[in-house]
Amino acid sequence: MKLSAIISTLGRDREVESVLASLEAQSFRDFEVIIVDQNEDDRLAFVEREKYSFPIQRIRTPDRHGLSIGRNDGIRACQGDYVVFPDDDCWYPYDFFERAVDTLEELDLDGLTGRAADENGNSINGRFEVSAQFITRKNVWTTQIEWVAFFRRQLLNDLGGYDPRVGVGADSAWQACEGQELALRAIQAKAKLYYDPSLFGHHESLDSPRPDKALVQKARKYARGHGRVLRMHKYSILDIGFWVSRPSLKAAFYAASLRFRLAIHALNTAVGRLEGYFDPAPRTLHTQLPKQSK
């Protein structure tokens, strides 16, 4: 098996159907799909009723929540040489898998990342580099998003998978940047990671000119994850200062323009990053995936 797609999901069903439809349309066919179903109910029963052209396995873990935990559960069960982690509400161009596998093998990479884009190819939900480049500690923050990232399965095993205390749904305050955290450990292990902006997937845009309370709260939770990972991997006070100054300046600009909701959103991002960076909790990894020998 060349590729495994691991989808960790909770609380969604129609969106999961859409993800699987976009995988069904892929031009590359040598892949399997593993659904890690964290729902207590049986809303994803259709997965076992439908006939897909690819192998699909549904793993039910209603007592285990968290995106990173789900991905690690999927890694234990997968067989592919490479692994990708689709969100349960994203979708991909028809040649997404084909382009990724070709690049991974042509450049002999340990990991390949891309970006989030709308249907016209315009970047959304983050700031991304515009040119292809190898991933380093400096650019790791602008060269990836978790559901457009491929890794060798052996690398994931060697690293121990994702840190389950970082990421959406984790039992912690650090609700984002689990992908960067994993990539930083891979870089430390001398893995060869590459970013290609021509590789992108699609997702609903999280940007809003009038962010509501829920979006502001999400921004702060995600920002705490960013700050936490910066501190875990020994980024300096100057580094956190840079990442706090950007949203702080945006907040001031929006306030001066009387766009107060955007100002509050940006200010919460700045505060969240500080909260994550100066969180007094021990800065140790909590990986659950046992390392495997080559």
pLDDT in tens, 202-249: 999 988 888 999 999 999 999 999 999 999 999 999 999 999 999 999
3-9 β-sheet, strand order: 56-60, 31-37, 3-9, 82-84, 149-152, 111-117, 193-202, 133-134
pLDDT tens per residue, range 50-86: 999 999 999 999 999 999 999 999 999 999 999 999 9
Q: How far apart are CA 36 and CA 55, in angstroms?
A: 14
Residue 288: predicted pLDDT:
65
35 contacts: CB under 8 Å, gap ≥ 6: 7, 9, 16, 44, 47, 56, 57, 58, 59
138 contacts: CB under 8 Å, gap ≥ 6: none
CB-based burial, 236-264: b 16+ in 10 Å, e otherwise? eeebbeebbeebbebbeebeeeeeebbbb
Q: How far apart are CA 147 and CA 159, in angstroms?
A: 18
Q: How far apart are CA 104 and CA 12, in angstroms?
A: 31
Residue 291: predicted pLDDT:
55
What is the pairing mode between strands 3-9 and 111-117? unpaired
Q: How far apart are CA 278 and CA 173, in angstroms?
A: 12
Q: Residue 281 has what DSSP assignment?
A: S
90 to each of 28, 87, 240, how far by Cα in Å? 18, 5, 30
Specify which residues 35 forms β-bridges with: 7, 58
Nearest to 126 by CA among 147, 100, 112, 105: 147
**3-state SS assignment for residue 178:** helix
Nearest to 177 by CA among 131, 103, 132, 235: 235
The angle at the Cα of 177, spanning 174 to 183, to the nearest 5 degrees, equals: 135
Burial class (CB in 10 A: 0-12, 13-18, 19+), 178: buried
177 backbone φψ class: left, alpha, beta (φ>0; ψ -120 to 50): left
Residue 206: predicted pLDDT:
84
Residue 293: predicted pLDDT:
46
Residue 290: predicted pLDDT:
60
Task: Judge whether 37 and 45 are in contact, CB under 8 Å.
Answer: no
pTM value surpassing 0.75: yes
Question: From first to last of its 294 residues, what are the pLDDT tens digits of the chain?
Answer: 899 999 999 999 999 999 999 999 999 999 999 999 999 999 999 999 999 999 999 999 999 999 999 999 999 999 999 999 999 999 999 999 999 999 999 999 999 999 999 999 999 999 999 999 999 999 999 999 999 999 999 999 999 999 999 999 999 999 999 999 999 999 999 999 999 999 999 999 988 888 999 999 999 999 999 999 999 999 999 999 999 999 999 999 999 999 999 999 999 999 999 999 999 988 777 676 665 544
Residue type, 240: I
